[in-house]
Amino acid sequence: MHMNRLKHIISRSRVLFLVPVLLFLPAQVVAASGVTQGYKVQGSVSSGMAVSLISETIQAATSDNQDHLLGVVVQQNSVQVSLTTGTNQAQVITSGEASVYVSNINGDIKAGDQLVPSPIAGALMKATESGRAMGSAQQDFNSKSNNAQNKQVTSKNGQSKQVQIGTITILVSRNDYQPPQPKVPAIFAPFQNIFSGATGHNVSTQRTIIATVLIFIALVSSMIILYSGVSNGIRSIGRNPLAEGEVFLGLLQVAIIILVILAATFSIILVIIRG
């Protein structure tokens, strides 16, 4: 009797131990593969293509519809969870890892690079300018990659170029990409803070340097002109004390010239730092 009761307790303990494990395993699988949703298709799309969502239908992502990026088309059997299924629909993963077509149009891709739509419909490329990005590369891709295939493309200006296309794994995580700004030299840092505060946005290092150099040139030129005008006036008065009126007019002209130089310089600087 005691033995049967003991076996029942042990058996029940095993069941209680397995319950949290069974609840935990599905969560791990879903997190690793991602969740997809079905969308109506416009045009032709296939597994591995980056797509954008326009008017409740998806189409191959390009530079023209970059602002509407959605995700990557995947095969139905390649995901753990699908929110919708139906005819004439494609499954799109919008968060998680996926295999996607990429190209080296913008240069070789390194793991960690942000990827954006390329001129090749459905394929991504390395991000080099501000814009909506699909996510980050988890693998390198270049002309020596195992699955790289040559493709001839034509740019907007009509020039033909040979590039490579292949597939890599990416972490789909849509974001607004901003290229990293080079660190401004310490001597220009105060000016960058002033310019950024005046415009209400971050002024790039290049614009900061150009604006600062213009200020320096304007101030030095003004000091040289002012020094020359005052020196000539003093010498004129020394030679002819009655020339005081003419000297005053000369200095007034010098002051006007300096004001024009400074006004023109600061107008140009304002245009530069506003971008």
Residue 112 belongs to domain with CATH number: 2.40.300.10
Same domain, 66 and 199: no
Residue 173 lies in a domain: yes
Same domain, 72 and 166: yes
Q: What are phi and psi of 41, to 5 degrees?
A: -110, 135
Same domain, 110 and 198: no
Lookup: tokens for 119: 């001129």
Give dist(CA 251, CA 239) in Å, integer: 17
pLDDT at 268 over 60: yes
Separation in Å, CA 21 to CA 13, 154, 155: 13, 55, 55
Residue 235 lies in a domain: yes
Q: Does this model's pTM top 0.75?
A: no
Lookup: tokens for 59: 């189409």
Name the domain count of the chain.
2
User: 177, 203, 223: which is the final residue of a domain?
Assistant: 177
pLDDT at 266 over 60: yes
Same domain, 99 and 196: no
Same domain, 127 and 147: yes
Residue 81 lies in a domain: yes
pLDDT the model gives residue 31 = 33
Residue 264 belongs to what domain range? 186-274
Same domain, 54 and 167: yes
Same domain, 167 and 205: no
Residue 25 lies in a domain: no
User: 112, 144, 177: which is the final residue of a domain?
Assistant: 177
Same domain, 196 and 164: no
Separation in Å, CA 255 to CA 36, 50, 238, 243, 258: 71, 62, 21, 19, 5
Residue 18 lies in a domain: no
Residue 252 lies in a domain: yes
Give dist(CA 84, CA 89) in Å, integer: 9
Q: Where are the beta strands (DSSP E) in the chain?
A: 35-41, 50-54, 57-60, 69-74, 81-82, 89-93, 96-103, 114-117, 124-126, 131-137, 149-154, 160-177
Lookup: tokens for 123: 């394929």
Identity of the amino acid at 199: T
Same domain, 63 and 156: yes
Same domain, 106 and 197: no
Same domain, 141 and 193: no
Same domain, 46 and 99: yes
Indicate left, alpha or beta for 128 from its phi (over 0: left) and psi (-120 to 50: alpha).
Answer: alpha
Q: What is the pLDDT of residues 155-207, one digit of tens each?
A: 666 677 888 999 999 999 999 988 876 676 778 888 888 888 888 888 888 88
User: 177, 203, 229: which is the final residue of a domain?
Assistant: 177
Q: What is the pLDDT of residues 65-124, one digit of tens each?
A: 999 999 999 886 655 555 555 556 888 998 888 999 999 988 899 999 999 999 888 999
Lookup: tokens for 37: 């949703």
Beta-carbon count within 10 A of 94 CB: 21
Identity of the amino acid at 46: S
Residue 24 lies in a domain: no
Q: Are 198 and 161 in contact (CB under 8 A)?
A: no
Residue 247 lies in a domain: yes
pLDDT at 25 over 60: no
